Amino acid sequence: MQAQGASGDHDYLAREARARLEIDKQLAAAGWLVQDQETLNLGASPGVAVREFTLEKPHGRVDYLLFLDGQPAGVIEAKPEGTTLTEVEHQSGRYVAGLPDWMKAAVYPLPFIYESTGAETRFTNGYDPDARSRRVFTFHRPETLAEWLRQIAENAGTARLPRPAEIHAAPG
């Protein structure tokens, strides 16, 4: 039986908090340093995942903003276990274009988009010619995404690839 009202909201938040704990563990196992925005130190590791990062209005707050060598590169949208992740792709897709003006990215909009419950994770490379979310076993290592980011930046002028906002706006 599903809880209702304030109790239901509390249950949802508790389940999302459990998902975030599992996501933190998986990120750490993949080589990411997980930090809070208040204690941000982008030089502490080549791959830093920052929890609850505040974006420009109206983009809100992303659950995790991924940094590679100090530059933003992707986002993670955390949801409670049992959430159908393909139904929240539009939400995570909005975050890739919400960086604060002072922040510079090697590739913008950000190319790497994850949705995760901690039990299931989906990944989209927004610059892939066949960009769509795919189920992955776990989060990619920072060095893997850094290499893909380098390739995207090198090939930026050679072909018109779909941007993340276009991907998540497309029907079906």
Q: What is the pLDDT of residue 125?
A: 93
Q: What is the pLDDT of residue 172?
A: 40
pLDDT class of 8 with cuts at 50, 70, 90? low
Q: Say how far apart CA 49 and CA 41 lie, in whole Å.
A: 10
Question: Strand pairing partners for 136?
Answer: 121
pLDDT tens-digit readout, 30-50: 999 999 999 999 999 999 999
19-28 average pLDDT score: 96
- CATH for the stretch 8-169: 3.90.1570.30
pLDDT tens-digit readout, 98-141: 888 888 888 888 999 999 999 999 999 999 888 889 999 999 99
